[in-house]
Amino acid sequence: MASGNYSFPKTIEGKIFINNKFVKPHSTVTSTVYNGKDNSIVTDKHVICDRDDVNLAVAAARKALNGSWSEFTGLQRARCLYKLADLLEQNAEEAAYYESICSGRIMDQLRTEVPWIADVIRYYAGWADKLEGEYLPDDDGFVKIVRHEPVGVCGGITPWNGPLMVFVMKGAPALAVGNTFVLKPPEKSPLSSLFAASLLSQAGFPEGVFNVVTGDGNTGALISGHMEIDMVSFTGSVEIGRTIAAAANASNMKRVTLELGGKSPAIIFPDADLPSAIQWASKGVTMNAGQVCVAPSRVYVHESIADELIAGVKTEFERLGSTLGLDPQQYGTTFGPVIDKSQFDRIYTYIEEGKKDATLLTGGYKHDKPGNYIPPTLFTDPDPTASIYRDEIFGPVLCIRRFTEEEEAIKLANDTSYGLAAYIFTEDTKRIFRVTKQLQAGIVGVNALNMLFPNAPFGGYKSSGVGKELGKYALRDYSATKTIYIKSVDNTA
């Protein structure tokens, strides 16, 4: 069954979202958005917003922060968020379609993901009227009150591999606390974010609470260096994350949260449920055509089961490879293209280098039909210095190495500058606690991969970033702590 051919993008082409309306921007510079399945043009009017556009959005957010939005109670904020969640869920297929035509993501996954995204909004709606402060006793002659207040105007810069999800992971906790927001969606996949923004007025949010400026890295730089933005949250590469942090510090020392990807390991022990491990390992690095920050792109398997696991993964990869070229906007498609020709070329550069540094078991060939389709590609025994083994490729490329001892596997897993996610497969309870404690990652999955939960924090160690998304921990990043002290009345006189 094909998904609907919605007309919404044409109604907002060349516009940005400020004060609950799509408006004509100051900038006349545009870029082109392509559909990864055939490189056809989705729109050639994607606006690259300039300083005037960003200033207008920030001014709207500042006005709402100091005005109408500041008068909303926690319960009123919650009602807006609950309504937004309902509207998004009611329009799930449409939202999924706009994301799919830009990113190449498959509709079958998106139609289940959008309701999950709505539940993330509901999770934060539930927090909006439950944000507590503290009272500290006056045994030293002073009453102390600790308040948690909004940080102020927040900026968000989101990635192209899951823009609607990250829109909500940043926006929902920010709004629950009482902040206002300026979002820059990814230039390669902006439409699902613009569609979500179109629902804000219906949900009851006042003008200026949430604004969207489109653009590229130059627009993102204007946000991260803006003197009237109090916080910026970014998801993307380590290189750009460092640039954003530097710009934030050089401007007004704004708060920064960064989610910067990973090169996640999965360790498969000899007592693992092997058929399950094969399925998870195959799915984990091929979901979204491998364009997933938590993808298990390094697998370490015990030598006693290595041949069987490698054969199973190879079979799964070849099964998916046989479906190359199917339409991601068609329900039933299980494997789509990477987002664009630039990403396609980048991944193949890694694959060609990998052929020199490892054993290629399957994949690695060029698909001879239109679109940016890359077959799932499996390497074994990579050189420890190989780029396919060290770098985040962001494509359907997997490296498998054998290990003998548990300590060796842990050392190999931790031998990376990243620390976002790690995974183990074992039925040994003692090993689960022993190994998960030693893995240097912010998320550790046991007998499952690539999972996110609205109520559990997401974020990594080391170069994978700072700050947390999801769970109550994200609320801390969007809150400013204020201590008020009051001298006790002296009744002895």
The answer to whether the beta carbons of residues 127 and 206 sit under 8 Å apart is no
Q: Which amino acid is at 66?
A: N
Instruction: Give the residue-averaged pLDDT of 44-72.
Output: 97
User: What one-character-per-residue DSSP string does 44-99 give?
Assistant: EEEE---HHHHHHHHHHHHHHHHTGGGG--HHHHHHHHHHHHHHHHHTHHHHHHHH
Vertex 333, ends 330 and 338: CA angle to 5°?
95
Catalytic residue annotation: 259
Contact between 372 and 290 under an 8 Å Cβ cutoff? The reply is no
User: What pLDDT sits at residue 1?
Assistant: 47
The residues facing 407 across adjacent strands are none
For residue 492, pLDDT over 90 is answered with no
**113-131: average pLDDT:** 98
Kindly tell me if the per-residue pLDDT of 241 is higher than 80.
yes
Model confidence at 3, in pLDDT bands (50, 70, 90)? low
Q: What is the mean pLDDT of residues 97-119?
A: 96
Per-residue pLDDT at 6 = 76
pLDDT at 490 (0 to 100): 66
pLDDT digits (tens, 9 = 90+) for 423-479: 999 999 999 999 999 999 999 999 999 999 999 999 999 999 999 999 999 999 999
Please name each of the domains of the chain with its CATH number.
16-260+464-481 (3.40.605.10), 265-446 (3.40.309.10)
Asked if pLDDT for residue 118 goes beyond 90, the answer is yes
Q: What is the pLDDT of residues 186-199, one digit of tens each?
A: 999 999 999 999 99
**Which tokens is 395 given?**
């494509």
Q: Is a pLDDT exceeding 50 seen at residue 493?
A: no
- The overall pTM is greater than 0.85: yes
- The predicted model gives 234-248 an average pLDDT of 96
Mean per-residue pLDDT, 307-318: 98
Q: How confident is the model at residue 344 (pLDDT cuts 50, 70, 90)?
A: very high
Which of these, 226, 177, 193, 248, lies nearest to 46 by C-alpha position? 193
Query: Which pLDDT does position 489 carry in this prediction?
Result: 74
Query: What does the pLDDT read at residue 259?
Result: 97
Question: pLDDT averaged over the chain?
Answer: 96
Which has the closest alpha carbon to 121: 200, 230, 182, 208?
200
Angstrom distance (rounded) from CA 421 to CA 241: 18
Residue 488: per-residue pLDDT: 84
